[in-house]
Structure 1
Amino acid sequence: MTKLSVNINKIATLRNSRGGDVPNVVQVAKDVQKFGGEGITVHPRPDERHIRYQDVFDLRPIVYTEFNIEGNPIQQFIDLVLKAQPEQVTLVPDAEDAITSNAGWDTIKHKDYLKEIISEFKRNNIRTSIFVDPDLKMVEGAVDTGTDRIELYTEEFAKTYAAGDKSGIKPYAECAELASQLGLGINAGHDLSLENIRFFKENIPGLLEVSIGHALIAESLYMGLENVVKQYLKLLKD
């Protein structure tokens, strides 16, 4: 069974563009769970251009499915996660000025750095996942960091699939197989959509969770949030 965690960053982006509290991220998180969503993901950045640090604390009491906090593990982020105590933290090596995440960790080069941070989260009973490119060496390196899971960075798959080339799934499938052999859980995210999610899920063995935000919210503008969440759930479960 592959769980759907809905990233609500874009809801916060819309709210912040006008000021005030509409749409309300807490209410949207409640609704996503009511519609069947199996987790809520947020990715606070230092400039708080979408999710604010206070949003994390406001969301924590109402997320009864699974709370996943993504981000670059600067000290401010580490402190936030330790205070909020989510079920999962996903470490992403994005620069402060990045529009969105655009690369996975070099798990070999940054092994010691990641190992220290991950051990701190695990001491606090927070499951850890690290963002990685579909590279077998990076998956192998992830084991030595002590992480519980990897999150496969799926932008390249989405690009090739949209261009009509389904062969782009191959490195992801190979990495998933290796991860399973090495005892790592497998998550995935970035540019997954209603168009490509079924094919991705059917070809990735052991896929535990997908985190979907931008496409899901964009699709909801046309089809409605409840309808879209339920469509994803159907595609992930069929």
Structure 2
Amino acid sequence: MTKLSVNINKIATLRNARGGNIPNIVQAARDIERFGGQGITVHPRPDERHIKYQDVKDLSPVLETEFNIEGNPITKFINLVLEVKPAQVTLVPDAEDAITSNAGWDTIAYKELLTEIISEFKSQGIRTSIFVDPVEKMIEGAKVAGADRIELYTEDFARKYEAGDREAAAAPYAKAATLAHNIGLEINAGHDLSLDNIQYFKENVPHVAEVSIGHALIAESLYLGMEETIKRYLNFLK
């Protein structure tokens, strides 16, 4: 089964819009676990516009499932990860002013940087994943840099799927996942995956160990409820 890690950034966005502690981030994460979520993902950004660095520290001691921290490896982020020591860190090359992640790493151009950071995280027992586009040389570069996993950036899949070209949407991701598997990398995936497209992605892209889903899942929960939404994802991911 492909595991479901729920990104709770948008829950934090809702809290921050009003101030205070409603909804409570820690309680929301615990409820997601109780509803069957198999991991919690957070992506703290330097301006803390959704998940705050303190949220990460508050979540770490209470979570019972896998904790995945995503982000651009600036010094502040690296220090946070080394302090918290999550099960997994996902390195994402997002600019500080980016609304959301919009590209994978150029693992060739940033080989030395990624190799150094990955080595430090792995020395602390933290599994390390690199956010990449489904491009052969970038996946091979992730392997050279020492990554344990890649996370396939799936916006292009979601866009083409919505346009009706499903085979073209999935084909490069299936090829990328097969390559990654063959060279010894595990595969995660995320960005714009939803209840509309997750089953097709699961059925047509092999070897995916984990998907990280936030924006769509939280939006769908407004209509279906969090527990029912998670249940539906888990059914599709079997």
Give the TM-score category using the shorter length: over 0.9
**Alignment deviations for residues 86-145 of structure 1 (CA, whole Å, 9 cap, x no partner):** 000000000000000000000011011100000000000000000000111111111110
Paired residue total = 237
Counterpart of 1:134 in structure 2 is 134
Counterpart of 1:194 in structure 2 is 195
Q: Distance in 2 between matches of 1:201 and 1:136?
A: 20
Task: Please show how residues 10-159 of structure 1 align to structure 2 within 5 Å.
Answer: 10-159=10-159
Counterpart of 2:179 in structure 1 is 178
Q: Distance in 2 between matches of 1:141 and 1:118?
A: 13
**Alignment deviations for residues 174-226 of structure 1 (CA, whole Å, 9 cap, x no partner):** 00000000000000000000000000011111100000000000000011000
Q: Which runs of 5+ in 2 are unaligned?
A: none
Matched-pair identity in %: 71
SS of structure 1 residue aligned to 2:5: strand
Q: Distance in 1 between matches of 2:45 and 2:91?
A: 12
Structure 1 stretches of 4+ with a deviation exceeding 4 A read: none
Q: Distance in 2 between matches of 1:220 and 1:113?
A: 38
Question: In structure 1, what residue type is equivalent to 2:227?
Answer: E
Counterpart of 1:232 in structure 2 is 233
SS of structure 2 residue aligned to 1:122: helix
Q: Which runs of 5+ in 1 are unaligned?
A: none
SS of structure 2 residue aligned to 1:20: coil
Question: In structure 2, what residue type is equivalent to 1:50?
Answer: H
Counterpart of 1:206 in structure 2 is 207
SS of structure 2 residue aligned to 1:170: helix
Question: In structure 2, what residue type is equivalent to 1:177?
Answer: T
Q: Distance in 1 between matches of 2:2 and 2:172?
A: 19
SS of structure 2 residue aligned to 1:144: helix
SS of structure 1 residue aligned to 2:103: coil
Q: Distance in 1 between matches of 2:62 and 2:213?
A: 20
Q: Distance in 1 between matches of 2:198 and 2:169?
A: 14
Kindly state the Cα deviation for residue 62 of structure 1 after the two structures are TM-superposed.
1.3
SS of structure 1 residue aligned to 2:145: coil
Q: Distance in 2 between matches of 1:230 and 1:30?
A: 16
Q: Distance in 2 between matches of 1:62 and 1:170?
A: 39
RMSD: 0.4
Q: Distance in 2 between matches of 1:89 and 1:13?
A: 21
Question: In structure 2, what residue type is equivalent to 1:14?
Answer: L
Q: Distance in 2 between matches of 1:77 and 1:204?
A: 31
Question: In structure 1, what residue type is equivalent to 2:151?
Answer: E
Q: Distance in 2 between matches of 1:119 and 1:50?
A: 29
* TM value normalised by structure 2: 0.99
**Alignment deviations for residues 24-77 of structure 1 (CA, whole Å, 9 cap, x no partner):** 110000000000000000000000000000000110011111000000000000
**Alignment deviations for residues 148-176 of structure 1 (CA, whole Å, 9 cap, x no partner):** 00000000000000111111111100000
Counterpart of 1:8 in structure 2 is 8
